[in-house]
Amino acid sequence: MIKIKDVEELFELEPMKYWALPSGLTDIERQDKLNLAISGGDYIYSLKTDGNLIRAVITPDRFALQTRGRGRNSGVFGEIQDKVFWADAIANAFEDTTVLIGEAYIEGKVDKDVGAVLRCLTDKALARQKGENVVKFRIFDCFYYNGENLLETPLIERIKYLPKAVEAINHELVSYVKYYEAKPETFWDKLSNIFAAGGEGVVLYKRNMTPCENRTPAWQTIKVKQVLKEHIDCFIYGVEPAEKSYTGKELPTWQYWMDDKTGEKFLGSYYLKYCDGGMIIPISKGYYYNWPGAIKCAVYDENHNPVVLCKCSGLTEEMKAALRDNYDEWHMCPVKIDGMMVSRDRNGEISVRHPKLVSIRDNDISVEDCLLSKVIK
């Protein structure tokens, strides 16, 4: 539960991360666990929009449309109010403090397409939103409404404010999600229809859940996404560098630092020097040790050309160190990956959405067995 003393603290709340069932469950096991959860009538659900999380915070003195991530160097949440066409409508719709949680999305596109627009400079971001490429906003939660604090209000009551908010905003690009009763006898048919239509999935919520920072407790929310029926065999075809900046909440005890001017790295407690405003900045552990942040996973097409399907992060520290020290031994190494689904964009490029490394295939298959034809069969 979130408690605040001043509305300015609303701009610094860490976004919620929604819980999901453990990976590795079979379809039957996953269905049994979800049926047991929803059989008591405690859950409602909404369709998950494939976009970027946005928090709209309006106070008497300030307005911001904040992204989930903090800036690499600034440590503050990104803001997009100058990059979308519906910002002014939200800023002017409420007389007192209001906080709306939603997704910025583009019809028919995925989250990375939205990010590609919103990461642009203002003029370019607006110029790229032509025709069907316009960024829209769909609200799914409300933490404050016209000065009324809803942080301790159950979700089933908070969602009653969503249509009020959209009516007040009155903009064609702003809408709200609908919630449905989660009943075992109807839930799975509706979920199958969502997946068949290309939807990302749903989020189940306990009716009485209240907002929290960071990850929600188990079973308070449940992300239900489509998963591949079979693992994909591919091979390592490159690495991505680790993120440079550290933007977590452990700064006072953080051990990995760098002089932003000279590039010299330091191990130890440098938080006070950082607070003094010098050139020293916190960096990620991976960047400090020159570890890769992800591996590029590829397959061969019909012409024996490598096609990169995705970038898999979530590597163990041991694997990161091994990739750094002996990359030549890992290059073209077969691996098994999982993911939500295989998709094809408007340019015909194939990719795996939300990939996850399952295992190293060692010597049980050859890279010649890693074929695009098996992925899109």
Which pLDDT tens digit goes with each residue over 107-149? 988 888 898 899 889 999 999 998 889 999 999 999 999 999 9
Residue 104's pLDDT band (boundaries 50, 70, 90)? very high
Alpha helices in the chain (DSSP H): 27-38, 87-91, 111-118, 122-127, 155-158, 162-169, 184-196, 271-275, 285-288, 317-325, 327-330, 372-375
DSSP 201-248: EEEEEETT----SEEPPBTTEEEEE---SS-EEEEEEEEEEPPSB--S
Q: Out of 42-56, 84-98, 358-372, which region has the weakest mean confidence (pLDDT)?
A: 358-372
Please report the domains of the chain, with CATH numbers, ordered by start residue: 7-225 (3.30.470.30), 232-375 (2.40.50.140)
Question: Distance between CA 357 and CA 294 in Å, rounded?
Answer: 10
Which pLDDT tens digit goes with each residue over 234-249? 999 999 999 898 877 7
Residue 73's pLDDT band (boundaries 50, 70, 90)? low
- Report the share of the chain in percent with pLDDT over 90: 58
Answer whether 0.85 is exceeded by the pTM: no
Q: Dig out the tokens for 115 from the structure.
A: 């990010």
